Structure 1
Amino acid sequence: MSQQIAGLVFDKDGTLFDFRISWGRWAQSFIAEMAQDDDHADRMGRAIGFDLPTMHFAPDSPVIAGTAFEIAGALLPTLPNFNRGTLTEMIDEAAAKATMAEAVPLHPLFRQLRGAGLKLGVATNDSEAPAHAHLAAHGLTDYFDFIAGADSGFGPKPGPGMCLAFAQAVGLDPARVAMIGDSRHDLEAGRAAGMVCIAVLTGLASHADLAPHADVVLPDIGELPGWMKLA
């Protein structure tokens, strides 16, 4: 199977970047900026399934695989002076400034993948502007042939739109593309697009959560060259 793969489309958060560290910091910072007091901060945290003292995300937190619009919807009851559109914009602006922690050393990995002739893309439920900002901050943008977010016009995951758009953009049959992600949304999107589905464990989901939906489960994306038997 791996010998037939000519393109890789990556989720961003929990796949390229460690989810707990990256988005735990973001949630702490955003709540601290918006909350009126400690009680308000706790209510905001609960609204998005985030425990401030432990930086722990609940399995159903919209931050894990949701869009900025969905996160705004969850927060809106705790921020009645804002409308959902404005709050979505504020979340995107804060997300673009968030410091991402690489899940593995990314430059050597992507040099190897590009050197093997693979087409590479990013499909994230984050908005496109923060996605570009995060990749640019780590000097990664030029490795990718395609970068899309939930607001890029292809729909969010678990819909297959972004995956199919990547395949079309690089001229590959979806069957020759692998979708790599850390959540069921990622794997369901890849499966709906007819792609190979690779799960990684650098997000919040467990092996047991992801294995039924994946063709293979790897500890992290650093294991891709070995699994693909790249020279």
Structure 2
Amino acid sequence: MQGIKGILFDKDGTLVDFQKTWFAIGDLMALKAADGDRERANALLELAGYDFANHRFKADSVFAAGTNAEIVALWYPDASEEERQAITAGFNTMTAQAGAAASVPLPGSKDAIAALHGSGFRLGVATNDSTSGAEQTLLALGIAQMFDAAYGYDAVANPKPAPDAIHAFADLTGLKPSEIAMVGDNRHDLEMARAGGAGLVVAVLSGTGTRETLAPMADVILNSVADLPGFLGTA
């Protein structure tokens, strides 16, 4: 841990309360895809990973861990590639604006970011949301100035679980991947960290992942980002 100089964070479920922020937005997306048909929209939500019985998105489901492009491919299987690109662009705009406006920070996350930034860590976000969505959310939370960069799925050639965002952040900051910690709540986050050679892989239980799904890939499991400064000895 002494060699860690930079930290990449997943966004939803790590910095932002996933369930409180995203169900309403996901419901709007599903209703749009279903042309307003409530029953069909519910079926699409279930297909994307929403568990109506427990009122939450399932760990590692398409909606919890995937991109808007993957959601569109799932919901519009008969659409042409051109049609899917147009629908994805519309969803990107919708989720960037609505996600930022509705974003609910996880308890203690903003204080933790301030403490880590104040201790000299280079900070970034790697998300399967769009880059615009990530940047607008950081601005809405009032913490954008503490981050060097935000990488959405559309900012890299290959989104999570590919290691592209780790490499991009290393290139930007001049750090080695082994000097970067990755913090996330889904297996995609941890798989990216492993693939990219991150020096520390931190799982948090504040999102859709569970201890059982995260433990095989994590170096450490914390309850939330609020515990990270203490773990890194900067609190």
TM-score in terms of structure 1 length: 0.91
- Could you report, residue by residue, the CA deviation over 1:81-139 in whole angstroms, capped at 9, with x for unpaired residues? x9211221121122112211111233322221111011000011111111111111112
Q: Do the aligned residues in 2 keep the contact of 1:197 with 1:215 (CA within 8 Å)?
A: yes
Q: Distance in 2 between matches of 1:50 and 1:5?
A: 36
Q: Which range moves more in the overlay, 45-54 or 19-28?
A: 45-54
> CA shift at 1:13, angstroms?
1.0
Judged with a 3 Å threshold, the aligned counterparts in structure 2 of structure 1 residues 52 and 126 are, in CA distance, closer, same or farther, namely same
Taking the TM superposition and a 5 Å limit, the aligned residue runs for 1:85-164 are 85-96=85-96, 97-98=98-99, 99-164=102-167
Which residue in 1 is equivalent to 2:225? 221
> CA shift at 1:20, angstroms?
1.5
**Structure 1 segments of 4 or more deviating over 3 A?**
32-35, 51-55, 77-80
Q: Distance in 1 between matches of 2:206 and 2:124?
A: 18
Q: Which runs of 5+ in 1 are unaligned?
A: none
> CA shift at 1:68, angstroms?
1.0
Judged with a 3 Å threshold, the aligned counterparts in structure 2 of structure 1 residues 219 and 24 are, in CA distance, closer, same or farther, namely same
Determine helix, strand or coil for the equivalent of 1:17.
coil
Answering whether residue 234 of structure 2 is matched by residue 230 of structure 1, we say yes
Taking the TM superposition and a 5 Å limit, the aligned residue runs for 1:189-228 are 189-195=192-198, 196-228=200-232
Which residue in 2 is equivalent to 1:13? 12
Judged with a 3 Å threshold, the aligned counterparts in structure 2 of structure 1 residues 60 and 122 are, in CA distance, closer, same or farther, namely closer
Q: Do the aligned residues in 2 keep the contact of 1:43 with 1:78 (CA within 8 Å)?
A: no
Determine helix, strand or coil for the equivalent of 2:216.
helix
Q: Do the aligned residues in 2 keep the contact of 1:159 with 1:189 (CA within 8 Å)?
A: yes
Q: Which range moves more in the overlay, 134-143 or 217-226?
A: 134-143
> CA shift at 1:59, angstroms?
3.8
Which residue in 1 is equivalent to 2:25? 26
Which residue in 1 is equivalent to 2:173? 170
Q: Which runs of 5+ in 2 are unaligned?
A: none
Q: Do the aligned residues in 2 keep the contact of 1:180 with 1:199 (CA within 8 Å)?
A: yes
Q: Give the letter aligned to residue 121 of structure 1.
A: G
TM-score in terms of structure 2 length: 0.90
Provide the alpha-carbon RMSD of the alignment: 2.1
Determine helix, strand or coil for the equivalent of 1:43.
helix
